[in-house]
Structure 1
Amino acid sequence: MVDLVTLGLILVPVLAVVAVVFFVLWLLLRRRYRTMLADLNASARERIDLEMLVAEQGGRLRIIRELHDLTLHRVSSLVSDAEGARLAGERNPQAAVRGAIGMGETARAMLADMRRVSTLVRDSEADMLPQPTLRSTRDLFKLMRDAGLSVVFEESGAPYDLAPAAELAVYRILQEALTNALKYGGDGTTARVGFTWTAQGLQVRVDDDGFRNAAARRGLDPNTSTGYTVEDDLRTLTQEIVGPGIEEMRERTELFGGVFSASQTAGVGFSVAAVFPALKHHNGVHGVDLTRGGSR
């Protein structure tokens, strides 16, 4: 009986301590759960806000496109009316006056549409999130490194300021190339990013070793066996790399007068290059320096 009493005196404090420990752990888990739930709710709200913003911007873009098409049609009509007024004026001055009145009405309608487009653009710019620039590439590299991609950056030539739209195009191309390198190469892939500045242009290149890294992840020696065959070499030489991301990078490059290429080196990885011969003064239409004195 004494032994049972002694055992009870020992077990009661132990059980009390265990109960306290479990209670503390339950409180910590409950707090963590609430924090995670709050984060999920915040992420859901941000996602909904972004979806609404995208939908709103898409609606505005459709309106702008429609007004743009209508304005082009009216410009075409205005040119035809002007030519008709010129020909009529040689024979009947009154017909030329009537033509001028009609052209004035068409021009006023065009001006009203252009003002509507300008208002929509200003509203869209006010609602848009801040766009990244080339200075944001450091944050992009850090983000990719944190995700498992080893980024090596090399730059040559003298950098200069670019138009915001051009900087955004270069940044998006770089972002897509690095994302693909991490997606297909996996954790541990190395991506070498090169910026080569010329007098008027910029060359951007991204080379990764995704194939070699994938072989190493499978336990193979990347220096002796990367797991590719002669067929892989033939595909590298004959097949063009395609995909939504590739096409988007190509379109961004060509928009600023550049040439885009994407290739793969069997047993090594992928290479992406965007060469902009006249990016310094390119505005998406031409690469002519329109600044005074020919300098920025």
Structure 2
Amino acid sequence: MPSLPQPVWLAVSGGLLVVAIVLLVLLLVTARRLRAERREAAEDDRYTARLQVSVADQSGRLRIIRELHDVAVHRVSAMVAQADGARYAGATDPTAAVRAAQTIAETGRETLADMRRVMTLVRESEAEAGPQPRLRSTRELFTTMRNAGLSVLVEEHGEPYDLNAGAELAVYRILQEALSNSLKYGGDGTEVRVAFTWTASGLAVKVDDDGFRNAVLRRGLSADEAAAELSYGVEEDLRSLTQELTGPGIQEMRARTELFGGTLTASETPGVGFSISATFPSIRFHNGVHGVDLSHR
């Protein structure tokens, strides 16, 4: 078999060496990718397992809470029946009323113990889920939004007071949604003015931004072009006064406001931006069901 000329042999050898190196690199890359995929799969499996355990644990707690609730409802119904019986029997047999009162007291203590068990389970679940933000956490929210690109100015009028946890969470979530919308539609550099107005029993929260104007200016238009885009007339003014803004975020904010006896309005300021106003006339004493000041009764 004739041997290859040295230049040809060198070229073939060099080509084979290059092919071998390429194959080796591909094998190493493939092996690394497979190892990464296996690690990710293992982590996903561990996360799924943890999630399944958490779901099973929460389901068990909910089942216990539901069972204790059913028992408590039955006991309360029995207490009502016993009280009615004692009322009628007391007129002719005072000792029967005493016995009924003793039974009612015992049933009440048992029911109270069950309710305490329910609250313990609820608190444990809340602690595992992490602490909910409170109104006093708005400083952190404002800092986060400023770091994200908003220019946030905060004003406060009146004398602030503590709210119950549910009311604080509602106000916090409304602010969070409003500021997120300002950043989403106005972009980096949007100016937002947040105003808290406290009254003896109420609170008004207002969020105004210049998102429209900022979005136009960020496009690098000339002064005349920007003025033309931001110009508006009577028709735009009328529409801003009459139109009802909708959307999932606004609906959620409105629901949170109404839960604590308030009203929410969302509007556009032509050529400027959005405005969100949430007014709570009785939030100081509102618990998500009613707002009645019982402190002096």
1:132 and 2:136 aligned: no
- Counterparts of 1:207-286 in structure 2, within 5 Å, are 207-216=208-217, 222-226=226-230, 236-280=240-284, 282-284=286-288
- Kept in 2, the 8 Å contact 1:189–1:208? The answer is no
- Offset of residue 82 of structure 1: 0.6
Deviations 1:212-239 (A, max 9, x none): 3444456667432149898866654444
Change (3 A) 1:217 1:50: farther
- Offset of residue 87 of structure 1: 1.0
- Offset of residue 117 of structure 1: 0.9
- Offset of residue 83 of structure 1: 1.6
- Kept in 1, the 8 Å contact 2:186–2:214? The answer is yes
- Counterparts of 1:48-197 in structure 2, within 5 Å, are 60=61, 64=65, 67-68=68-69, 71-72=72-73, 74-91=75-92, 96=97, 99-100=100-101, 103=104, 106-146=107-147, 148-157=148-157, 158-183=159-184, 185-188=185-188, 190-197=190-197
- Kept in 2, the 8 Å contact 1:215–1:227? The answer is no
Amino acid at match of 1:206: V
Change (3 A) 1:69 1:252: farther
Amino acid at match of 1:210: G
- What is the SS of the residue equivalent to 1:153? strand
- Kept in 1, the 8 Å contact 2:186–2:212? The answer is no
- Offset of residue 191 of structure 1: 4.4
- Kept in 1, the 8 Å contact 2:264–2:277? The answer is yes
Structure 1 segments unaligned to the other structure (5+ residues): 1-33, 292-296
- Offset of residue 272 of structure 1: 1.2
- Counterparts of 1:9-20 in structure 2, within 5 Å, are none
Distance (Å, rounded) in 2 between the aligned partners of 1:39 and 1:229: 57
Q: Who is 1:202 aligned against?
A: 203
- Offset of residue 86 of structure 1: 1.0
- Kept in 2, the 8 Å contact 1:220–1:226? The answer is no
- Kept in 2, the 8 Å contact 1:141–1:151? The answer is no
- What is the SS of the residue equivalent to 1:274? strand
Amino acid at match of 1:196: F
Q: CA RMSD in A?
A: 5.2
Change (3 A) 1:43 1:155: farther
Q: Which moved more, 1:97-106 or 1:196-205?
A: 97-106
Deviations 1:247-268 (A, max 9, x none): 3323433444433222233443
Q: Who is 1:29 aligned against?
A: none
- Offset of residue 64 of structure 1: 3.9
The alignment covers a number of residue pairs equal to: 286
Amino acid at match of 2:119: S
Deviations 1:94-114 (A, max 9, x none): 765675576456435423421
Distance (Å, rounded) in 1 between the aligned partners of 2:189 and 2:49: 33
- Offset of residue 175 of structure 1: 0.9
Change (3 A) 1:85 1:130: same
- Offset of residue 71 of structure 1: 3.2
- Kept in 2, the 8 Å contact 1:189–1:209? The answer is no
Structure 2 segments unaligned to the other structure (5+ residues): 1-34
Amino acid at match of 1:225: E
Distance (Å, rounded) in 1 between the aligned partners of 2:145 and 2:40: 22
- Kept in 1, the 8 Å contact 2:150–2:183? The answer is no
Amino acid at match of 1:250: R
- What is the SS of the residue equivalent to 1:196? strand
Distance (Å, rounded) in 1 between the aligned partners of 2:52 and 2:237: 43
Larger Rg: 2
- Offset of residue 205 of structure 1: 1.2
Q: Which moved more, 1:228-237 or 1:125-134?
A: 228-237
- Kept in 2, the 8 Å contact 1:178–1:191? The answer is no
Change (3 A) 1:163 1:47: farther
